[in-house]
Amino acid sequence: MGRACVLLLCCLAVVSARAADIDEGKRIFESVCASCHGPQGMPDPDSPVVQALDPEPADLSDPLFNSREPRGDWIMVVEHGGHAMGLSAQMPAQGGNLTDEEIEAVVAYVKTLADTSEYPPGEMNLFLPVRTKKAFPEDEWVWKSRLENRDGEDVFRNVIEFEKRVGKAGQTILEIIHADDGVDSEFEEVEVGYKHAFAWSLEDRSLWSAAFVVAVPLQSEGEVELAPYLAYAKQLNDAAIFQGSARVKLPVDDFDQGELELAGIVHYTWSPWPRRVFPALEVTATAPFDRNGEDAVQFTALPQVRIGLTRGGHVALNLGVELPLSDQAYDTRYHLTLLWDFADGGFFKGW
């Protein structure tokens, strides 16, 4: 009975502390932030203060905007000012006026200005890997370029990918794929699909999503493929994130000729500043359904770096080298990926 009472008192103390933090955050917000952002987080377009600002402050009461912005990014903005993260220079730094605890309290309060319970948290919008499928539904333009040496010939593959957030937890996918082997240069296929985040936990820092993609060939010798996949994201600690995916490629005319692709990656997130270089190691395994009695699983290791190009990290470069760990048709693959998260602003913003 005594232990139960102690546990109950501890829980009440935690709840009370959280309530106090929110109350303190509300007080700070109303005295420091409300003149620009509005008392409920929605800027008043008729306010002379708001009219003097360019751009107009974001609507913090919008659940999509509120949910997709990681708490850590907002702490950085409040502490160091908008310019430090590639945002408005008119957003002043409060690090000299507020303590760390007060900054965390006001950000915690801002997160209560919208009901984001049905939206995946922006904390799980992790770095884009080379081959592992990303779990978070985002708004991005991505250019993926790959060079490999196959039978003594250099083969290039370029992909333009457009991803658009839809609804509370969904994303549409469009990819156009072009290949050049030095003899033929042609658009090979178009991929269209939909991804949906179906489970997440902010406390556990994890996210699950599933996607269904259809690959349609643009050449007569190609065949339609179905490519559903499951993706997972997890923040392991302050210095490491993990992502994994399982994808099945299924030729419509013959499912037996399909394959299973597993991929996983760990990034070393050593700094909270997005414009840094973040190393990572990715591993893949591809297993065809029809192995003809042989051990045909193909493994690769893919060391890579993520380079934030803008202060907010919404434009980033990824460079990687894919090394075969089994008998494969190519020697080495070189990957370059350029990402633009257009939900966070224009391509040339914040350089």
Q: Check residue 50 and give its pLDDT.
A: 86
Torsion, Cα of 66, 70, 75, 81 (10° steps): -80
CA 343 and chain centroid, separation:
12
State which amino acid sits at residue 317: L
CATH number for region 2-110: 1.10.760.10
- Could you tell me the pTM of the whole model? 0.88
CA of 325: how far to CAs of 286, 300, 308, 313, in Å? 11, 5, 29, 32
Q: Check residue 177 and give its pLDDT.
A: 96
Domain ranges across the chain: 2-110, 122-344
Closest-CA residue to 78 (of 50, 112, 102, 43): 102
Q: Check residue 169 and give its pLDDT.
A: 97
Q: Check residue 153 and give its pLDDT.
A: 81
CATH number for region 122-344: 2.40.160.40
Q: Check residue 34 and give its pLDDT.
A: 86
Q: Check residue 77 and give its pLDDT.
A: 93
Q: Check residue 16 and give its pLDDT.
A: 38
Q: Check residue 231 and give its pLDDT.
A: 98
Q: Check residue 201 and give its pLDDT.
A: 96
Residues of the chain with pLDDT under 70: 1-20, 292-295
- Are the C-beta atoms of 269 and 240 separated by less than 8 Å? yes
